[in-house]
Structure 1
Amino acid sequence: MRKKFFLCILLLLSSFLISSERIKIITTTSDIEFILKTLGKERIEVINIVPPSLCPGHFELKLKDLEEIQKGKFILFHGWERWMENIKEGPERIPVEIDGNWMIPDINLKASEKILNLLLEIDPEGKEFFERNFSIYKREIEDLKRECRRLKEKVEGLKVISSIQQRDFLKWLGMDVLHTFTDSEISLKEMKEIVEKGKREKVKIVVDNLQRESISGRKIAEEIGAKYIVLTNFPTRNSYRESLLENLGKIEEALK
Structure 2
Amino acid sequence: MVLLMKRTFPALALMAILLMASFSLTSASNEKPIIVCTTTVLSSIVEELVGDDADVIVLVQPGICPAYYDIKPSDVYAVSKARVIFYHGFEYKMWLKDMIESSGNRDVILVKVSGNWNDLNGAKRYITTIAGNLSEIFAKDYMKKASSMISELESIGEFINEKAAELRVNEVKVVCMKWQKSFVEFIGFNVTDSYGPPERISAKRAAELEELIKREGIALVIDNLQSGTYFGAELSSKTGAIHVVLTNFPDAIPGTSSLVEMIKYNAEQLFNAVAEWRSISHAKEEISYLRGEIENLKTKLLIFQGLSLVLAICVAIELYIMRRRR
Could you say which TM-score interval applies, normalised by the shorter chain? Answer: 0.7 to 0.9
Residue in structure 1 matched with residue 305 of structure 2 by the alignment: none
Between 135-144 and 163-172, the greater mean CA deviation after superposition = 135-144
Residue in structure 1 matched with residue 143 of structure 2 by the alignment: 131
Q: Which amino acid aligns with 2:203?
A: L
Checking the alignment, whether the CA contact within 8 Å between 1:24 and 1:73 is kept in structure 2 is yes
TM-score (norm 1): 0.85
- Aligned-residue sequence identity (percent) comes to 26
Structure 2 residue 172 is matched with structure 1 residue 158? yes
Structure 2 residue 201 is matched with structure 1 residue 182? no
1:200-246: CA deviation from partner (whole Å, max 9, x where unpaired): 11112101101111432222111111111110111114222222222
Structure 1 position 99, deviation (Å): 1.6
Structure 2 residue 157 is matched with structure 1 residue 145? yes
1:84 to 96, 99, 105: 96
Residue in structure 2 matched with residue 206 of structure 1 by the alignment: 221
Between 134-143 and 24-33, the greater mean CA deviation after superposition = 134-143
Between 231-240 and 204-213, the greater mean CA deviation after superposition = 231-240
Structure 2 residue 122 is matched with structure 1 residue 119? no
Between 225-234 and 20-29, the greater mean CA deviation after superposition = 20-29
Q: Which amino acid aligns with 1:251?
A: L
TM-score (norm 2): 0.68
Checking the alignment, whether the CA contact within 8 Å between 1:185 and 1:214 is kept in structure 2 is no
Structure 1 position 159, deviation (Å): 0.8
Tell me how far apart the structure 2 counterparts of residues 198 and 107 of structure 1 sit (CA, whole Å): 30
Residue in structure 2 matched with residue 240 of structure 1 by the alignment: 259
Checking the alignment, whether the CA contact within 8 Å between 1:221 and 1:228 is kept in structure 2 is yes
Tell me how far apart the structure 2 counterparts of residues 56 and 93 of structure 1 sit (CA, whole Å): 21
Structure possessing the higher radius of gyration over alpha carbons = 2
Which ranges of structure 2 fall in alignment gaps of 5 or more residues?
Answer: 1-26, 277-326
1:252 to 271, 276, 281: 271
Which ranges of structure 1 fall in alignment gaps of 5 or more residues?
Answer: 1-16
Tell me how far apart the structure 1 counterparts of residues 154 and 63 of structure 2 sit (CA, whole Å): 26
* Larger fraction in helix: 2
Residue in structure 2 matched with residue 221 of structure 1 by the alignment: 236
Q: Which amino acid aligns with 2:113?
A: E
Checking the alignment, whether the CA contact within 8 Å between 1:77 and 1:93 is kept in structure 2 is no
User: SS in structure 1 opposite 2:238?
Assistant: helix
1:94 to 106, 110, 120: 110
1:30-83: CA deviation from partner (whole Å, max 9, x where unpaired): 111111111111222211111111112332222232223223222111111111
Checking the alignment, whether the CA contact within 8 Å between 2:45 and 2:258 is kept in structure 1 is no
* Relative contact order higher in (CA < 8 Å, ≥ 6 apart): 1
Checking the alignment, whether the CA contact within 8 Å between 1:79 and 1:95 is kept in structure 2 is no
Structure 2 residue 183 is matched with structure 1 residue 169? yes
Residue in structure 2 matched with residue 109 of structure 1 by the alignment: 124
User: SS in structure 1 opposite 2:81?
Assistant: coil
RMSD: 2.0
Residue in structure 1 matched with residue 297 of structure 2 by the alignment: none
Between the two proteins, the alignment pairs up a number of residues equal to: 236
Q: Which amino acid aligns with 2:110?
A: I
Q: Which amino acid aligns with 1:40?
A: V
Checking the alignment, whether the CA contact within 8 Å between 1:181 and 1:216 is kept in structure 2 is no
1:24 to 9, 12, 34: 34
Structure 1 position 156, deviation (Å): 1.8
Q: Which amino acid aligns with 2:56?
A: V
Residue in structure 1 matched with residue 206 of structure 2 by the alignment: 191
1:136-186: CA deviation from partner (whole Å, max 9, x where unpaired): 112111111111112322212421111111111111111111121222252
Structure 1 position 249, deviation (Å): 1.8
Residue in structure 1 matched with residue 8 of structure 2 by the alignment: none
Checking the alignment, whether the CA contact within 8 Å between 1:96 and 1:115 is kept in structure 2 is no
User: SS in structure 1 opposite 2:248?
Assistant: coil
Residue in structure 2 matched with residue 39 of structure 1 by the alignment: 49
